[in-house]
Chains A and B, each alone.
Chain A
Amino acid sequence: MTEKVKNVLLPLCFGILIIAIWQLGFIHAALGFKPFQLPVPSQIVITLRDNFAKTMFDTVITVSAALTGLILGCAIGFLIAVIATMFPKWGYSVLSIIAAVNAIPIVALSPIMNRWFTDGFSQKVGVVTVVCLAAMSINAYRGLNDLRPFAKDLLESYAASGRVIFLKLRLPNCLPSVFTALKINVAAAVMAAMISEYFSASTSGIGFGIKDNLRKGIMAKGWSYIVVAAVVGIILYLIVMMIERRVIKWHASQR
């Protein structure tokens, strides 16, 4: 028990210390910032409270696009991984090509989507889908194919069909990697949606809120949006973790 308390207390104290230093203006002194450039935490919280309704509205806009793209991207990515598993000889190379897609900067995708779609929502969903697709297909493929030695041989010696091997061995085996991909993707999805908003036609959303308020020079508002974005990222991540605990209780990482 004492060990557990220590695990929580140490980081917590550190965090409080940092916020206190920031609040009391030591950071400004050290780096030479003016208070209007880097608002103190209390100011950010007050700003957030005053504009809560608008901020929430913007958050819903961004998160809905992020989640739509996340679901689309993960579904397509998983399908690609399954098809690549069915045709091992040709499938392996598809994954290398997708790994190359993964190296394409998000910021380059944004303008492409702007040319394909006219409304902000589809532009965002397009960017998020491509971003999530790559991580999911690479991880899922790994999970579907890195089987425990002899497990496949055993099933084959029972004359199990390919379908049975897929359902009873490959599918459960890929769940941990699928969750790894999901964890990567929830943060990436929010990030991609935000970045897309910097350059897309949307006039609402977290990214737009940050861009707009910085242009007007209202730093505290911009910072309040950032706090919200961080909180949203953490909440989504925790949701994935909770589902993971439920679904793969049997896996070593959960013990």
Chain B
Amino acid sequence: MDKKEKYKVNLVWTACIFLFWEFGAFILDKVLNDPLAEAKLPYPHSIILSITQNFTDLMTASGLTFSRAVMGFTIGALVGFGLAIIMSLSKVAEKIALPYLIVSQMIPVLGLAPIIFTLVKDMDASRIVIAAYITFFPVAINMLSGLNSVDMDKKELLYSYAAKKRSIYYKLMVPFSLPYLFAGLKIAAPMSITASILVDMLGSKGGIGVKLLYSLYSGTKDVFWASVVTSALMGIISYFIVVLFEKIAIPWRRQEAN
């Protein structure tokens, strides 16, 4: 399967889904005569139309949501990175922190958003806190597994050159773990966007989540589906931004499609 072939297959699928959706919307609208057809499953072309009509509006809203997510994501990634380094430096720290990291993964963190919101009282701060909290776990765990999987003989070679701990990390451990780090970042990026949208919906001013929430209580003629598609695109775009950064940061590693 070469690249061109893959591209073709993807294109066919995308077209198929589009047509299938159109067809489904048509069935709902014209054959079943569902009075709520437009709300349940609108025609894709009408969604696209709605997006183009409300383009500036949607862009402003999603820009707000996105920029706040980026803040939290960056802080969370830095904390996760730092924590992974500390855990790899000290076995005691790893023993203390790792069980809590695992447990924090089992807890429905996003569900705690309203609590954090009432605590912090500030929209932007709580958004950043939640996005950071969600981001730091996958980053820390993946980075740590990367640091722990460096070959012993590579380390020993540097020891035999009497390299300092700092230069071992700087020259070997961190570059080696970068692919792992990016695996964590790829998981975290869409999640931090989700967190940001959720905080929007809890009562923020502006942002794409407000549009989603507003549509819950309003009629059918709205930008609801356009907002849904926009928020989905935001999640996907955030993933690809991380992939782009990965290409810049790890040029020596051939990209695997995963």
Chain A interface (Cβ < 8 Å from any Cβ of B): 6-7, 10-11, 14-15, 33, 37-38, 89-90, 92-94, 96-97, 100, 102-108, 111-112, 114-116, 186-187, 190-191, 194-195, 198-199, 206-207, 210-211, 214, 219, 222-223, 226, 229-230, 233-234, 236-237
Residues of A within 8 A of B212 (CB): 107-108, 111
Instruction: Give the residues from 190 to 240 in chain B that come closer than 8 angstroms, CB to CB, to chain A.
Output: 190, 193-194, 197-198, 201-202, 209, 212-213, 215-216, 224, 227-228, 231-232, 234-236, 238-239
A33/B119 in contact, CB under 8 A: yes
B13/A100 in contact, CB under 8 A: no
B190/A105 in contact, CB under 8 A: yes
* Known contacts A90-B9, A107-B212, A230-B106; A10/B92 CB under 8 A: yes
Residues of B within 8 A of A194 (CB): 108, 110-111
Closest beta carbon of chain B to A232's beta carbon, Å: 9
Alpha-carbon gap, A219 to B99, bound state (A): 28
Alpha-carbon gap, A224 to B28, bound state (A): 44
Closest to B191 in A: A105
Given contacts A6-B95, A11-B98, 11 further A-B pairs with CB under 8 A are A14-B100, A90-B9, A92-B6, A103-B235, A104-B228, A105-B190, A107-B231, A115-B40, A199-B213, A207-B111, A211-B114
- Which of A10, A116, A199, A234 meets B216, CB within 8 Å? A199
* Known contacts A104-B235, A114-B216, A214-B118; A10/B96 CB under 8 A: yes
Alpha-carbon gap, A237 to B108, bound state (A): 12
* Known contacts A93-B9, A195-B111; A234/B103 CB under 8 A: yes
B111/A210 in contact, CB under 8 A: yes
A226/B10 in contact, CB under 8 A: no
A37/B17 in contact, CB under 8 A: no
B108/A191 in contact, CB under 8 A: yes
Alpha-carbon gap, A90 to B6, bound state (A): 9
A11/B99 in contact, CB under 8 A: yes
A105/B95 in contact, CB under 8 A: no
- Which of A100, A206, A223 meets B111, CB within 8 Å? A206
Alpha-carbon gap, A149 to B193, bound state (A): 39
Question: For the side of the interface on B, what is the size category?
Answer: 35 or more
Closest beta carbon of chain B to A217's beta carbon, Å: 9
Closest 7 CB pairs of A and B: A103-B235, A191-B108, A194-B111, A105-B194, A104-B232, A233-B106, A103-B190
Residues of A within 8 A of B239 (CB): 103
* Known contacts A92-B1, A111-B215; A97/B13 CB under 8 A: yes
* Known contacts A14-B96, A103-B239, A105-B193; A115/B36 CB under 8 A: yes
Residues of A within 8 A of B100 (CB): 11, 14-15
- Which of A15, A100, A190, A210 meets B236, CB within 8 Å? A100
Alpha-carbon gap, A219 to B40, bound state (A): 36
Main secondary structure on chain B at its contact with chain A? helix
A226/B215 in contact, CB under 8 A: no
Closest to B208 in A: A108
A223/B95 in contact, CB under 8 A: no
Closest to A197 in B: B111
Whether B250 is near chain A, meaning CB under 8 Å from some CB there, is no
Alpha-carbon gap, A14 to B212, bound state (A): 41
Instruction: Give the residues from 70 to 127 in chain B that come closer than 8 angstroms, CB to CB, to chain A.
Output: 92, 95-100, 103, 105-112, 114-115, 118-119
Closest beta carbon of chain B to A169's beta carbon, Å: 21
B95/A112 in contact, CB under 8 A: no
Closest to A14 in B: B96
Residues of B within 8 A of A33 (CB): 119
A111/B108 in contact, CB under 8 A: no
A107/B198 in contact, CB under 8 A: yes
Whether B27 is near chain A, meaning CB under 8 Å from some CB there, is no
Whether B39 is near chain A, meaning CB under 8 Å from some CB there, is yes
Residues of A within 8 A of B14 (CB): 97
A107/B197 in contact, CB under 8 A: yes
- Which of B92, B105, B110, B114 meets A214, CB within 8 Å? B114
Alpha-carbon gap, A211 to B119, bound state (A): 14
Alpha-carbon gap, A219 to B197, bound state (A): 23
* Known contacts A102-B190, A108-B232; A229/B108 CB under 8 A: yes
Alpha-carbon gap, A211 to B17, bound state (A): 37
B106/A237 in contact, CB under 8 A: yes
Residues of B within 8 A of A198 (CB): 114, 201-202
Closest to A106 in B: B194
Alpha-carbon gap, A15 to B92, bound state (A): 14
A selection of 20 A-B contacts at a CB cut-off of 8 Å is A90-B13, A103-B236, A104-B235, A105-B197, A106-B110, A107-B198, A108-B231, A112-B228, A114-B216, A186-B106, A191-B110, A191-B111, A194-B110, A195-B110, A199-B213, A207-B111, A210-B115, A214-B114, A214-B118, A233-B108
